[in-house]
Amino acid sequence: MSTTIAIPERFDFSFHKSFTEQYNKLLEKNAGKTISLDFSRVMYLDSAALGMIVLLQKRAKSINCNVEIVSAKGTALEILQIANFDKMVTIR
């Protein structure tokens, strides 16, 4: 099973249910490993998306699992940097 979640072009509350279901499945099987969030398609994210990442990070940390954001670019990357997410998760 892949440990990557592909994030859609619009990362907002409408993706909450799908995102939560996907990361819960990954957390069950990947304690101590890394979950990657593929931001290659993301053009828009809002505060709900940031909150979802925070919740994932807290759950992952509790089972010694890491979270990383990969391929973020443009406005999405700027938002993550302004919100200091690089201090909470690896952004590469």
pLDDT per residue as tens, the chain (92 positions): 459 999 999 999 999 999 999 999 999 888 789 999 999 999 999 999 999 999 999 999 999 999 999 999 999 999 999 999 999 999 99
Report the domain count for the chain: 1
Structural domain span for residue 26: 4-91
Sign of CA dihedral 79, 85, 87, 90: negative
Task: Write the CATH number for 46.
Answer: 3.30.750.24
